[in-house]
Structure 1
Amino acid sequence: MRRMRLSPEVRRRCQDAVDQAQDRLLALSRSLHAEPETAFREYRSAAKVSGLLRDEGFAVDVGVGGLDTAFTARYGDGPLVVGLCAEYDALPGLGHACGHNIIAASSVGAALALREVAAELDLTVVVVGTPAEEEGGGKITLLEAGVFDSVSMAMLVHPAPEDNCAPRPLALVELEVTYTGRESHSALAPHLGVNAADALTIAEVAVGVGRQHFEPRQQVHGIVTRGGDVPNVVPAHTRALYNLRAADMESLSRLESRIRACFAAGAIGAGCTHEVSATPAYAELVHDSFLSEAYRSAATELGRPLVSRAQELEMPTGSTDMGNVSRALPSLQPSIGINSGDAVNHQPEFAAACVAPGADRALLQGAVALAWTAAQAAQDEQARQRLLDQHRERGASKVGPR
């Protein structure tokens, strides 16, 4: 493995830029945290992030990819285009319990740092405002709309209880199943009813007993979103929402087939009809090896408390639409610890920790580490050429043969 070497001057200038922007970055993080907005409704949040970048001299384009709360902010004109993804959607009822306020602010900080060396490194810096990571897959929409076509590599740093330079987020698809039966009086004429709640019960039991045969890293978890209206009426309409996760898209496809069969079993057993709808699938996250090692080197230089590579493989993880980006172009999404104590992502205690001193430190160090990682890729001749070649080939494949 090649030793990572970054120019001390570039390293210093990136660090100085983040230091100088510290107050603005922390204020941005706190402002996002104080006014959480959920998927596709992040109007204030997108305006705060893009507004700061516009004030800093970035050329901002709002509403990209057909999404009102998406944007791009561009600086420089070099051929190597560094994409920094800013997430800013929150969780319903929990606010910023996954720390997207930190993600947005750290990506802005990295962009401000790279702005200072963009001319020297002959690169372009693009912040991509990506809504709806928690639900809806905003990056998938932007990817399909061509927003990432101009980007050579994409990065962000995600808050977590611990640092993990190479987490392995799972592929995910969300399935909604709806059962339809027939109402009847629960006491006077239950035999005339067709119980949609029974269908849901059978399906849940089928999923439960099927877990014994799940492949490694396959997971299923769901909630009942409609179980009936009143107990003295046989319920004719029920609905449930399930998340399916797997190590990769291929394993996810197999899992989805199994779970759809469980849903069908519920309908057959209860005599109901049923419908299943699916959201766009999140792919597993694939880290670019050079970017991952460059980030590890940067995090080590900053004194981050890194776990071993062996420990990284055992650490639990969720899912992200950054996975779809990573299957299309070189990408990186390390986790950075915020000293959240016993709290983990998607807990209210983690939301509170996302504006505590440990989160502030992670935000600033994450910004510097991302900037150093991108600068390392720009300075390393072999890595730079590979990224440019891959970008060119990706563009050629979209055009097709002439």
Structure 2
Amino acid sequence: MTTESDSAIEAASDALIALSHSLHAEPELAFEEYLSAAKIVEMLRGAGFEVRTGIADLPTAFDARFGSGDLVIAFCAEYDALPGIGHACGHNIIAAAAVGAGIGLAQRADELGVTVRVIGTPAEETGGGKVLMLRRGVFDDVGAALMVHPGPFDITGATSLALADIAVTYTGREAHASAAPEYGRNAADAATVAQVAVGLLRQHLLPGQQLHGIVGNGGTAPNIVPSHTELLYYLRATSAESLLDLTERADNCFAAGALATGCTHRIRTVSPTYTELTPDPWLVQAYREEIIALGRVPVPVEEEGLRPLGSTDMGNVTNVVPGIHPVIGLDSGGAVTHQEAFAAACITESADRAILDGARALVATAARAARDADQRARLLEGVERR
């Protein structure tokens, strides 16, 4: 049965696809998404939403509202891109689907007794925009938070890993690498020792624990003993508790580099720590039924936990607010997220369909929760407890 929401999404389909393609054509990095946010805000205002920009002291964040019901349903929009490879994580699709869901649910806001919010959340790839917004009260009145993320296949109960984003700096002493090397303390050697230690640690990690990093600064010239170097590392684990264990063990590896070379070191947090996704079971099941009704075939439930999505700051939201972060499948020709080929796939006909299907499924899921007396009470009680 076609609802007013479906009709509204269909009527806006060309504009939603154009929005996605426009975001894709002008990718912007974390906390610099000024054009992207402005494009999204313009479309929401045109659809009758009241929009506040620059919320939570973040210039590229926004909050768009429609309706006045006691149950607040939020759709999260992401729109930051990756350095060098643009929208290879498909945030253009995420943003357009969130706008479409907002427009669709707004048509039934009075009927369902809901307030519809589309929350613009910058800096998901790095920076933890949602973590900052969560801390600053943006999600305080939200009964349920929903979004979809593109991928090579549909996953309804998607999971992710907790993440620590760190930088390790080493400080030694410069010297002429040929004439007086004995006067130097080599910070590049410290980084090398640390990375060897990390590599050896990998064979003893717990299931689900991961470390990966790059050399952000390795020195200035071959004939100068490097006095300053920097490693940039992501540490991931299946839970916050496991991440803490991994962090302690990795810290010892980084300290070993300094100890072995006579350097000093400092570890700093680059972005807020991301917690693992904890999708709400009832919302996941409702979304699964809706996406199947649209003709999609998600991966079997028993396989969902075998396919973690990396890490996302939506995990922090779902640990506080009932929410979902399913994957909406598109034909990527075998490419996966964070590859150039996946970026190219995010403006294909298959990607455009994912926007509209994702928006429809999110709206239908939200509407089911709003109509179900028990679930509505549960979501409202959650807001009261918080």
1:31-84: CA deviations, max 9, x gaps?
Answer: 111111100000011011011111111010011000000000000000110000
Distance 2:375 2:117 in 1: 19
Q: 2:362 aligns with which of 363, 370, 375?
A: 370
Query: Partner amino acid for 2:228?
Result: H
Distance 1:248 1:313 in 2: 13
What secondary structure is seen at the aligned counterpart in 1 of 2:357? helix
1:358-383: CA deviations, max 9, x gaps?
Answer: 10011100000000000010111111
Name 2:264's counterpart in structure 1: 273
Query: Partner amino acid for 2:39?
Result: K
1:180-231: CA deviations, max 9, x gaps?
Answer: 1111111222111111111111100111111111111000000001111111
Name 2:156's counterpart in structure 1: 165
Distance 2:287 2:155 in 1: 10
What secondary structure is seen at the aligned counterpart in 1 of 2:273? coil
Name 2:297's counterpart in structure 1: 305
RMSD: 0.9
What secondary structure is seen at the aligned counterpart in 2 of 1:222? strand
Q: 1:146 aligns with which of 119, 137, 153?
A: 137
Distance 1:314 1:139 in 2: 25
Name 1:331's counterpart in structure 2: 323
Q: 1:283 aligns with which of 275, 294, 304?
A: 275
Distance 2:292 2:301 in 1: 13
**TM-score normalised to the size of structure 2?**
0.98
Instruction: Check whether the contact 2:161–2:308 (CA below 8 A) recurs between aligned residues.
Output: no
How far off is 1:392 after superposition?
1.0
1:124-171: CA deviations, max 9, x gaps?
Answer: 100000000001000111111111112111010000111100111100
Distance 1:338 1:382 in 2: 34
What secondary structure is seen at the aligned counterpart in 2 of 1:110? helix
Answering whether residue 9 of structure 2 is matched by residue 18 of structure 1, we say yes
Name 1:360's counterpart in structure 2: 352
Distance 1:88 1:192 in 2: 49
1:304-359: CA deviations, max 9, x gaps?
Answer: 12110122121242100001111111011000111101111011110010000110
Answering whether residue 312 of structure 2 is matched by residue 320 of structure 1, we say yes
Name 2:202's counterpart in structure 1: 211
Name 2:285's counterpart in structure 1: 293
Instruction: Check whether the contact 2:37–2:120 (CA below 8 A) recurs between aligned residues.
Output: yes
Q: How does 1:2-401 map to 2 (within 5 A)?
A: 8=1, 12-278=3-269, 279-394=271-386
Query: Partner amino acid for 2:345?
Result: A
Distance 2:32 2:296 in 1: 34
Distance 1:99 1:326 in 2: 21
Distance 2:217 2:57 in 1: 32
What secondary structure is seen at the aligned counterpart in 2 of 1:191? helix
Query: Partner amino acid for 2:211?
Result: V
What secondary structure is seen at the aligned counterpart in 2 of 1:38? coil
Distance 1:147 1:258 in 2: 35
Aligned length: 385
**TM-score normalised to the size of structure 1?**
0.95
What secondary structure is seen at the aligned counterpart in 2 of 1:27? helix
User: What's the % identity of the aligned pairs?
Assistant: 55
Distance 1:349 1:316 in 2: 21
Higher mean displacement: 180-189 or 108-117: 180-189
1:242-275: CA deviations, max 9, x gaps?
Answer: 0000001111111111111111010000110111
Name 1:400's counterpart in structure 2: none
What secondary structure is seen at the aligned counterpart in 2 of 1:223? strand
What secondary structure is seen at the aligned counterpart in 1 of 2:75? strand
Distance 1:40 1:313 in 2: 31
What secondary structure is seen at the aligned counterpart in 2 of 1:258? helix
